[in-house]
Chain A
Amino acid sequence: MIYRHLFLIGLIVSALFVALSTQQAYAEEQPIAFSHKLHTVQNGIPCQYCHLYARRSFSSGVPPVSTCIGCHGPQEQKLVKPESVEVNKMRDYWASGKPIPWVKIHDIPDFVRFPHKEHINADSNRLVNDAGAGCDIENAPRSLECILAQFRTGGDERCLACHGDLRQMDVVKQVDENFGRMGWCMECHLQVKGAKERKRASNTLDGWYHAKEMDAKREVAIGLINEKGYHNPNMLDCYTCHY
């Protein structure tokens, strides 16, 4: 009996813990109180000014310290914000030749190959026509509709679609509790033209028996070939990201 109680208590405690922990977005104390809000909104710096590899590489790249120094200047010059305690911390790192040990907030598991560049350069016309319609940015900024709408807008908005509205953050937070989980990725990827059809097409008995006659029809339906004539990548195959 006592064990059953313990078990129940355990359940409740863990449920509470999950509930509590999901209330607050994941964030960590950073070595320097760098504010994305200050840099992007007040100073109007676009994301890729600093994260310059995002459109060129799998990795967006952590900005090198020389990028900071480029505007703020080293100790002896002190160009921008000469008296700021936090900026001086950065100047100290630069002077001592040490990199800044930022803490990673947006982390995806090591068995996922996520290409930033393919997302930055993606053609938003591949999304189904009504993707992003009905976005209520005021009340549900992190709804699927709004994420898709942001992605469609492109530019910096596209970064925010996944990373949350960094323009409003003094401390970087992970706003979606499911960030980096496969279901979270798939929510959007199923909004790609032909994705749902492609998902249904494989391995059903119907598919096997009527393979030949359905072949041509399905090819069009699943958007195998784009208007330029080359084949669209299959984003529903496990091997696309896990290898």
Chain B
Amino acid sequence: MGVGGATAVIAGCEKKPEKLIPMLVPPTDYEYTPQTAYQYMTTCRECDAACGMMITTREHRAQKAEGNPNHPLNQGTLCARGQASLQSLYNPNRHAFPLADGKQIPWEEGIQQFSAIIKAASGAIAYLGKPASGSEGRFVDEWLKAAGGGQRVKFNLLTQNSQTAANKIAFNRADIPEYAFEKAGIILNFSADFLETWGNSVENARRFTDMHVYKNGKKNRFIHISPHVSLTGAKADRWIVINPGTEGLVALAIAAVMREKNGSHKFLKNYLAAYTPEKVTEATGVSVEVMRELANDAMEHGPVLALGGGNVSATDQSVETLVAVNILNSVSGALDKTIRFYNQTVPESSTHQDLTQLISDLEAGKIKLLIIDDSNPVYALPPSMGFKQALKNAFVVSMASQKSETSHLANLVLPALTAYESWGDAFPRSGVRSIQQPVMSTVNTFDAKAREDVLLSVAQNVNKKAFPGNSSYLDYLQNIWKRIQREVGDKRKFDSFWISVLENGGFFENSKYKRVTLSRKVTSVKVNDPGLIGKDGLTLLPTTSLLIGDGSGANKPWLQEVPHPMSQIVWDSWVEINPDTAQKLGINDRAIIEVTTPHGSVNATAYYHFGIHRNAIAIPMGQGHQNSGDVADGFGINVMNLLSGRMDNAGNFALVDTQATLKMVNEKSYTVNTDGNARQLGRDIAAATTVEELNSGGEKHGGHKRPVEFYPDRSETAGYYKPYRWGMTIDLDRCNGCSACVVACYAENNIPVVGKVRTALGREMSWIRMERYIEGYGDDFETRFSPMLCQHCGNAGCETVCPVYATYHNPEGLNAMIYNRCVGTRYCSNNCAYKVRRFNWFDYEFPSPLDQQLNSTITTREVGVMEKCTFCVQRIQTAKYDAKNLGRDLEDGEVVTACQQTCPTKAITFGNLMDTESKVSKNALRDETEKRDRQYEVLAELNYKPAITYLKKVNTRVVLGHESDRHDSQEQEETHG
């Protein structure tokens, strides 16, 4: 035994020798090199959109999710939920072992029990699962047949089924078409939250931005026609406030004016005559002039793209509303231009009507065995439907990976694998076949099996003839892909086809389209005023959050910790209420209010929001869990408890048909928001300009002239900026506040989650934050977003005050932060004008197995150390080493930061400012014509010389009450926290 003194004594801390654990047998060279990133393509299963993912694994542990660059839907980018899908995989609250009535049992016993109950049920089986676009649905159908019969019930809380029903009526296609945002000249949006949860938000954001961004001196317009301004509405050029549930009437009124002028669709003449602006103005609350103006705008600036659907317009007449939107699209000539239907067999969808049937079947005892996958109906269905009680009438087998309210009530829990560990596929639309492959072996703390594999072996237990020749779901899947190979006419051996599918993340072809025309049947569809405004109380709008979604995101620490971009509230639910209404009712901002509907009552925090109709309140879905794990339980409230469970004609929940009354319970609440002040107070942090200003040709407004200085600039000093000076540009005209960058940064940089209490103390650790500012007052207000991160200043405030030289300006222009030098004085943070430095007040925990996600190429910080954005220096270093070994310098685009990589709208550019040809230089260079007048630096007057150049948001209007003429409006300030 040697003496471990030398290092230990001098270093001043005792250290146990570490162990070096070798592998028994290494994988082949191609699959394993330690500390080296390997990428695998797969499909994201967090929502139904089926984006392609590229998972970075190191030491065979998935550490970072990125978009699959080959995938036609998301093209390399991901949303916040996709980024956080890693926390489905490593969630400490996953089911770790099979449970029978809450007690741990071995797998063999679980399978035995399951087989026995299938035999006993003899066909009285129901399988409740998500609608599947891929092979899974077909597999379950065949499985039910093999297991002796039964029915598959499809369930999804957020469904686009009303849209397919409306499309069936209008175009005889029960399908969701392609929305070609980029081809539109003007978007009329009837309450669809297309940047959040409506359709594929990543693809929508990309295509919408292509259309909406300022280019060639022009900006196409986006009109939000809705009772509620969501994150999507915040990006609109104009918000038209309408009464809840009257989207269809406004759409028809606009269609009526347009048809009169362009004379198309003669058969609609009489039909639309009943919906002229004059006739609907009272019901909708929109003036005749505004509707005529919208129609004229639409005709002038077309092609039009009218969108409808989503939660806020989901009244009991949502099918009629969506037919009205279809009529508007047809009349304006959007069909086959901005809206194209696919020539495809329609992917599966679900209605909530199926659930009603299931519940009555359960109550009647017609179902003996109910199998439920990862969906969570006990949480998602309004309690008045009685699903929870009906469960008692059957033996419930939960095959979920995550703990939930539903699996909590199951008699038998057979833990399933997540999408990261199992096989699957998805065919979200014509020409897109996306594969889901295991990117790593099962997380070692969970004794789980793939759902399909368990089903398969159980079926073969009870029925010898089931699935002949298939020993696992992979065999089944490969058989389907063999058929696909024949269909697409691929002549290779299957093995090479299969490998190319796995390498590309699927098989992608151009989509096939089918022309459609408006059916004459639409004239029989009567669009009525739901009359929600006339009723007592305030109309309750259950909105969706782009972070938590339908509630499945609530058990992921990142999604709870990242502030909701609109409200900036963390770990909570809130009730959005118009300040005018609130003051009439005597309700303070951030007061606890009791919200009562005929179906239930909850206590939640009031949040003043200009962007909501004065006779409505909005509560986001997805919080208020009870048995979904430590991170989800007890935060916020479940809005579904307030709803009736009534449905529209397509059998989907009429989410908007409940009136609520409010009562203030307590003047103050413990709600935590990170924004501090919603107002810029003249600081112009998120700056904007207008199209007119940019085109005025007068004196240019952008670009900051720096003062002449006594000292030479750093770039002139030898040793600096040769050959790289890293810089970034952020285009606020492209940014829509989706916060995917924030979650990506958490994932890439091992940023700890601190929880609600510590966030309240200002100890959140996010390196990049989505700042949200509000301009103007009342209905004419504007929301601005600005991602704020370390500016890597050339003349930084933090560097000069560090007593130990832990932070300094690196020769490549990075504001370096050396953790091991830092002694924790926090002077740097105090002297940082941008407030982007974070201090480790504790040794933060990454509860196992979340620690397996930690990026092993960087240091995980300890207590007492300052940290902040590094411009992903680990990515810079890795790329530099690779380039050096190839004998060259770095090229433009070789280093991509995590935030830039995931941005669906490509708002962030990163690169070398010394290379005048690089993309970032072109965006940041001050003499470049296109962007010249939009460039600015945040707080430039401090002369910190930030390396980040922002490009101003481009508005089409100037809101009244802009900060510059209202510096003294303290009173107004307080009304809007």
Q: Spot the interface stretch: B224-232, B531-539, B816-824.
A: B816-824
Q: Does A134 interact with chain B (Cβ within 8 Å)? A: no
The 0/1 profile, CB within 8 Å of B marked 1, for residues 76-106 of chain A is 0000000000000000001001111111110
Interface size on A, residues (CB 8 A): 72
Q: Is the CB of B808 within 8 A of A238?
A: yes
- Report the Cα distance A240→B873, complex, angstroms: 9
Contact of B718 among A101, A117, A121, A222 (CB under 8 A): A222
Count of inter-chain pairs, beta carbons less than 8 A: 187
Contact of A218 among B719, B808, B873 (CB under 8 A): B719
Interface size on B, residues (CB 8 A): 58
Q: Spot the interface stretch: A1-9, A57-65, A135-143, A160-168.
A: A57-65
Q: Does B711 interact with chain A (Cβ within 8 Å)? A: yes
Interface of B is mostly: loop
Q: Does A42 interact with chain B (Cβ within 8 Å)? A: no
Q: Is the CB of A62 within 8 A of B22?
A: yes
In chain B, residues 816-874, which have Cβ atoms closer than 8 Å to a Cβ of chain A? Answer: 816, 818-821, 857-860, 870, 873-874
Q: Is the CB of A17 within 8 A of B5?
A: yes
In chain B, residues 869-914, which have Cβ atoms closer than 8 Å to a Cβ of chain A? Answer: 870, 873-874, 877, 880-881, 883-885, 887-889
Q: Is the CB of A222 within 8 A of B719?
A: yes
Q: Does B676 interact with chain A (Cβ within 8 Å)? A: no
Q: Does A154 interact with chain B (Cβ within 8 Å)? A: no
A–B pairs, 25, beta carbons within 8 Å: A17-B5, A25-B2, A28-B2, A53-B33, A58-B36, A58-B857, A62-B21, A62-B23, A64-B22, A102-B19, A102-B22, A104-B20, A107-B17, A110-B860, A202-B717, A218-B718, A224-B722, A231-B889, A234-B811, A234-B812, A238-B810, A239-B812, A240-B877, A242-B859, A243-B816
* Residues in B neighbouring A130, C-beta threshold 8 A: none
Q: Spot the interface stretch: B6-14, B77-85, B89-97, B451-459.
A: B6-14
* Residues in B neighbouring A29, C-beta threshold 8 A: 1-2
In chain B, residues 1-59, which have Cβ atoms closer than 8 Å to a Cβ of chain A? Answer: 1-7, 9-10, 17-26, 33-36
Q: Does B716 interact with chain A (Cβ within 8 Å)? A: yes
B residues within 8 Å of A by Cβ? 1-7, 9-10, 17-26, 33-36, 711-712, 716-720, 722-723, 808, 810-812, 814, 816, 818-821, 857-860, 870, 873-874, 877, 880-881, 883-885, 887-889
Q: Is the CB of A26 within 8 A of B7?
A: yes
Question: Which of A29, A58, A173 neighbours the largest number of chain B CB atoms within 10 Å of its CB?
Answer: A58
Q: Is the CB of B816 within 8 A of A57?
A: no
Q: Spot the interface stretch: A144-152, A185-193, A207-215.
A: A207-215
Q: Is the CB of A201 within 8 A of B719?
A: yes
* Residues in A neighbouring B9, C-beta threshold 8 A: 14, 17-18, 21
* Residues in B neighbouring A170, C-beta threshold 8 A: none
* Residues in A neighbouring B33, C-beta threshold 8 A: 53, 56-57, 61
- Report the Cα distance A117→B857, complex, angstroms: 15
- Report the Cα distance A109→B883, complex, angstroms: 27
Q: Is the CB of B24 within 8 A of A97?
A: yes
* Residues in A neighbouring B36, C-beta threshold 8 A: 56-58
Q: Is the CB of A22 within 8 A of B6?
A: yes
* Residues in B neighbouring A101, C-beta threshold 8 A: 19-21
* Residues in B neighbouring A218, C-beta threshold 8 A: 718-719
Q: Is the CB of A198 within 8 A of B719?
A: yes
Q: Is the CB of B24 within 8 A of A65?
A: yes
Contact of B24 among A66, A104, A215, A243 (CB under 8 A): A66
* Residues in B neighbouring A53, C-beta threshold 8 A: 33-34
* A242/B717 contact (C-beta < 8 A), A63-B22, A111-B859 known: no
Q: Is the CB of B19 within 8 A of A64?
A: no
Which residue of chain B lies nearest to A122 when distances are taken between CB atoms in the complex? B884
* Residues in A neighbouring B874, C-beta threshold 8 A: 113, 243
Q: Nearest Cβ distance between residue B637 and chain A, in whole angstroms?
A: 42
* Residues in A neighbouring B889, C-beta threshold 8 A: 230-231
Q: Is the CB of B23 within 8 A of A121?
A: no
- Report the Cα distance A234→B722, complex, angstroms: 10
* Residues in A neighbouring B819, C-beta threshold 8 A: 111, 242
Interface of A is mostly: loop
* A243/B716 contact (C-beta < 8 A), A103-B17, A113-B857 known: no
Q: Is the CB of B711 within 8 A of A208?
A: yes
Contact of A239 among B20, B716, B818, B887 (CB under 8 A): B818
The 0/1 profile, CB within 8 Å of B marked 1, for residues 14-34 of chain A is 100110111011111100000
Q: Nearest Cβ distance between residue A174 and chain B, in whole angstroms?
A: 8
* Residues in A neighbouring B808, C-beta threshold 8 A: 238
- Report the Cα distance A208→B719, complex, angstroms: 11
Question: Which of B18, B718, B888 neighbours the largest number of chain A CB atoms within 10 Å of its CB?
Answer: B718
Which residue of chain B lies nearest to A106 when distances are taken between CB atoms in the complex? B20
Contact of A237 among B22, B716, B810, B870 (CB under 8 A): B810
* Residues in B neighbouring A201, C-beta threshold 8 A: 718-719
Q: Is the CB of A202 within 8 A of B719?
A: yes
* A28/B1 contact (C-beta < 8 A), A113-B857, A242-B819 known: yes
Q: Is the CB of A238 within 8 A of B816?
A: yes
Besides A99-B22, A222-B719, 8 other CB < 8 A contacts? A100-B21, A102-B21, A109-B820, A202-B717, A202-B719, A209-B712, A218-B718, A243-B858
- Report the Cα distance A136→B858, complex, angstroms: 39
- Report the Cα distance A59→B25, complex, angstroms: 17
* Residues in B neighbouring A110, C-beta threshold 8 A: 859-860
Q: Which 4 pairs across A and B sit closest by C-beta, in order of nearness? A: A21-B5, A27-B2, A218-B718, A62-B22
- Report the Cα distance A14→B722, complex, angstroms: 47
* Residues in A neighbouring B10, C-beta threshold 8 A: 18
Contact of B6 among A97, A99, A177, A202 (CB under 8 A): A177
* Residues in A neighbouring B20, C-beta threshold 8 A: 62, 101-104
* A107/B716 contact (C-beta < 8 A), A24-B3, A27-B2, A231-B889 known: no
* Residues in A neighbouring B888, C-beta threshold 8 A: 230
* Residues in B neighbouring A94, C-beta threshold 8 A: 24
- Report the Cα distance A121→B723, complex, angstroms: 23
* A59/B34 contact (C-beta < 8 A), A24-B2, A242-B819 known: yes
Q: Is the CB of B716 within 8 A of A211?
A: yes
Q: Does A46 interact with chain B (Cβ within 8 Å)? A: no
* Residues in A neighbouring B820, C-beta threshold 8 A: 109, 111, 242
* A243/B718 contact (C-beta < 8 A), A59-B34, A107-B17 known: no
Which residue of chain A lies nearest to B870 when distances are taken between CB atoms in the complex? A243
Q: Is the CB of A219 within 8 A of B718?
A: yes
* Residues in A neighbouring B873, C-beta threshold 8 A: 239, 243
Q: Is the CB of A239 within 8 A of B2?
A: no
Q: Nearest Cβ distance between residue B363 and chain A, in whole angstroms?
A: 52
Q: Is the CB of A57 within 8 A of B810?
A: no
* A21/B22 contact (C-beta < 8 A), A207-B717, A207-B718 known: no
Q: Is the CB of A57 within 8 A of B1?
A: no
